[in-house]
């Protein structure tokens, strides 16, 4: 997969949504190139600060192209932590797209490496996820603590842990 195609698709999806209120439909050629189904996170930063981040652990669309479009639109317009991106902000956004590898069960913190693996925590019906290689997250303990806070759960032996790799385009 080419970096320019992935990031270009996310950027076009954001522009189409923010400026015209429509969801971009990727052309057939791009959908064929990006035909596999994977979980995807799209993160937006403005002036180095998070401006939106939405993703899916498991695919919800029929292909990667549609998954990127859906999550790019959601990151720009539906992240509950932020107001929707305004048209005048679009050119100031830094976009990254993380394509997730298959999550795998781990037995404990010793199997985690926040630089190389993201983490999923789960307890009952609650779960939280933290992507890998984030500024300020340099220990497995900190990574799991943040993911647990996002999920609204307390870390303990009854919390299920999974790790995953990402292919990051930025």
pLDDT of residue 31: 85
Tell me: the pLDDT tens digits for 81-114?
A: 999 999 999 999 999 999 999 999 999 999 999 9
Beta carbons within 10 angstroms of residue 80's beta carbon = 6
Map out the domains of the chain with their CATH numbers: 3-100 (3.30.700.20), 104-165 (3.30.1490.150)
pLDDT at 1 over 60: no
- Average of per-residue pLDDT across 29-34: 88
User: What's the CA gap between 149 and 136, in Å, rounded?
Assistant: 16
Alpha-carbon separation of residue 155 from 56, 144, 146 (angstroms): 23, 8, 10
Average model confidence (pLDDT) for the chain?
Answer: 95
- Give the CA radius of gyration of the chain: 16
Alpha-carbon separation of residue 7 from 53, 69, 127 (angstroms): 15, 10, 28
Share of the chain above pLDDT 90, in %: 92
pLDDT at 46 over 70: yes
């Amino acid at each position: 997969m080419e970096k320019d195609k992935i990031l270009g698709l996310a950027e076009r999806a954001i522009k189409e949504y923010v400026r015209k209120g429509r969801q971009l439909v990727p052309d057939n050629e791009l959908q064929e190139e990006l035909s596999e189904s994977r979980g995807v996170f799209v993160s937006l930063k403005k002036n180095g600060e998070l401006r939106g981040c939405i993703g899916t652990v498991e695919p919800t669309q029929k292909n990667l192209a549609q998954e990127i479009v859906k999550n790019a639109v959601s990151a720009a317009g539906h992240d509950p932590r932020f107001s929707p991106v305004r048209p005048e902000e679009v050119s100031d956004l830094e976009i990254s797209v993380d394509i997730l590898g298959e999550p795998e069960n781990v037995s404990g913190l010793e199997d985690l490496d926040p630089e190389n693996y993201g983490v999923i925590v789960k307890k009952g019906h609650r779960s939280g996820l933290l992507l890998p290689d984030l500024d300020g997250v340099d220990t497995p303990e900190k990574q799991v603590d943040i993911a647990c806070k996002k999920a609204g759960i307390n870390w303990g032996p009854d919390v299920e842990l999974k790790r995953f790799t990402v292919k990051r385009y930025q």
